[in-house]
């Protein structure tokens, strides 16, 4: 290999390293902005008037039973708190983790092929949570 080729390779490697550093900083800044937004949404929800979800008096529903309106309010609050949490990179991470989990289940013999795990739904085996725990412990 010539000295020129080696120098060019080093230059290219330094360029790629520099670019990857910037990508990491950009990703961290984006994550931080999303976390700040989530925190602000959580604070907004905490400050909302929660009289609509307090217990009822009299012959109405049990104090432990939520009415449809209360459930709707809780759903809106959940959506508000979750705003900005799921982004493209999050979805890509979830897909990557799911593929890793499927490969793991095949490697420990829980399914014959990794793709077989998708066929388990909706009749998921009772020990499925154990599979997940084993996968996490293996990481």
Q: Does any domain span residue 132?
A: yes
Q: Does any domain span residue 46?
A: no
Residuewise pLDDT in 10s, the chain (139 residues): 444 556 677 888 888 777 766 666 677 777 788 888 777 777 777 766 554 455 445 566 666 666 778 888 888 888 888 777 777 788 889 999 999 999 999 999 999 999 999 999 889 999 999 999 999 999 8
Q: Does any domain span residue 71?
A: no
Q: Does any domain span residue 56?
A: no
Spell 64-89 as b/e; 16+ CB within 10 A means b: eeeeeebeebeeebeeebeeeeeeee
* Domain range enclosing 90: 85-138
The domain tally of the chain equals 1
Which residue from 34, 33, 70, 37 is spatially nearest to 54, judged by alpha carbons?
70
Q: Does any domain span residue 58?
A: no
């Amino acid at each position: 290999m010539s000295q020129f080729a080696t120098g060019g390779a080093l230059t290219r490697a330094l360029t790629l390293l520099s670019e990857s550093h910037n990508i990491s900083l950009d990703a961290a800044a984006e994550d931080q902005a999303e976390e700040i937004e989530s925190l602000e949404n959580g604070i907004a929800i905490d400050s909302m008037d929660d009289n609509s979800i307090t217990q009822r008096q009299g012959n109405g529903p049990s104090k432990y039973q939520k009415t449809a309106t209360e459930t709707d309010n809780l759903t809106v609050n959940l959506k508000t708190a979750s705003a900005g949490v799921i982004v493209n990179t999050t979805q890509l991470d979830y897909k990557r983790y799911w593929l890793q989990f499927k490969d793991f289940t095949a490697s420990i013999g829980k399914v014959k092929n990794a793709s077989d795990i998708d066929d388990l739904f909706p009749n998921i085996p009772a020990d499925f949570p154990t599979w997940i725990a084993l996968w996490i412990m293996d990481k």
